[in-house]
Structure 1
Amino acid sequence: MSRRLKLALQVATDATGLPGKAQLKTWIEAALRPGVKTAEVTVRVVDTDEGQQLNRDYRGKDYATNVLTFTFDDDMPVIEGMPLLGDLVLCAPVVEREAQEQGKPLEAHYCHLIVHGALHLQGYDHIDETEADEMEALETQIVTTLGYDDPYRTDTE
């Protein structure tokens, strides 16, 4: 099945070690479920101030978080054949801090968060335990297929 992804990348940070557009496209395409034929996604990489403002304004949480997902229409379910539309916002300082704290390569953590956000765009969530287990299993399968370690692995050996 041939998928088409139109990807826009916006960088609003001077952080280093950011993934490039081709890498982001590979990760998002890997996360697209079989019913998604086309997708238009904007990835915006921001600093702490913008990340905190967006999280406060849209989620009511007054801190910067690693990834925010914005669907084009929250009330529209993902329908096979319809284009997937949405935005992913990554807060570079949070992503970098988390990678260091978790002892993970920065690139691997970015990959995981992009996959996580792309699954959210498609309606996956982790509010209850069953949904969380399903989403984490999918994330692990996708991320490891892309050549990175299991993002939920807690040992360091």
Structure 2
Amino acid sequence: MKLSLSLQQSFEAPELVLKRSYIKKVIETALRHINVDQDCEIGIACVDSDESHKLNLEYRQKDKPTNVLSFPSDIPEEVLSLLDALPIGDLVICIPVVLQEAIEQDKTAIEHFTHMLVHGTLHLMGYDHETSEEDAEEMEALEIEILAKLGFNNPYTVKED
């Protein structure tokens, strides 16, 4: 499996230096874990709070910025068969929200960013945590397994002082 990555960084933060190779490794690890073996294309946009807020309001009717928005590809099946690589969609990650949540959850910035990258990638592949408790448990279990492969702890356990 080969991953083609389009990366747009309209917001950068010194505490979270993002390397294209790292982002590709995270997404490839997630896709391989769920047995995706065909070539894929994904777009990632790292944005500020204003852009996230605008998109979250427009597409989810939620009047606030959010950590990650996923926009799965909606290319018809008959067209997909003609393509060399599967366009799985786009992720919009709000860096200020990710940084604030990392502080609140006592995590490093890269730890939480990586979790949001995995979380968003699973959404693009059809996983959901909002429709049922069973779906949420399945998605969280996958996130935990993928993050462990990347050397990170369970993101759902609370650190004790």
The TM-score normalised by the length of structure 1 is 0.90
State, as a whole percentage, how many aligned pairs show the same letter.
42
Moved >2 Å (runs of 4+): 79-82
SS in 2 for 1:6: strand
Instruction: Give the match for residue 98 of structure 1.
Output: 101
**How is 1:73-112 mapped onto 2 (pairs within 5 angstroms)?**
73=74, 83-112=86-115
SS in 1 for 2:29: helix
The TM-score normalised by the length of structure 2 is 0.88
Q: Any gaps of 5 or more consecutive residues in structure 2?
A: none
Q: Any gaps of 5 or more consecutive residues in structure 1?
A: none
What is the alpha-carbon root mean square deviation over aligned residues?
2.0
Deviations 1:83-138 (A, max 9, x none): 14200010000000000000001101011000000000100000210000000000
Instruction: Return the alpha-carbon distance in structure 2 between the equivalents of residues 54 and 97 of structure 1.
Output: 19
Judged with a 3 Å threshold, the aligned counterparts in structure 2 of structure 1 residues 63 and 18 are, in CA distance, closer, same or farther, namely farther
Q: Say which is worse superposed, 82-91 or 136-145, in terms of deviation.
A: 82-91
**How is 1:1-157 mapped onto 2 (pairs within 5 angstroms)?**
3-16=1-14, 17-32=16-31, 33-73=34-74, 83-127=86-130, 128-156=132-160
Alpha carbons 1:84, 1:121 under 8 Å: kept: no
SS in 1 for 2:69: strand
Q: CA deviation at 1:155?
A: 3.1
One-letter code aligned to 1:99:
A
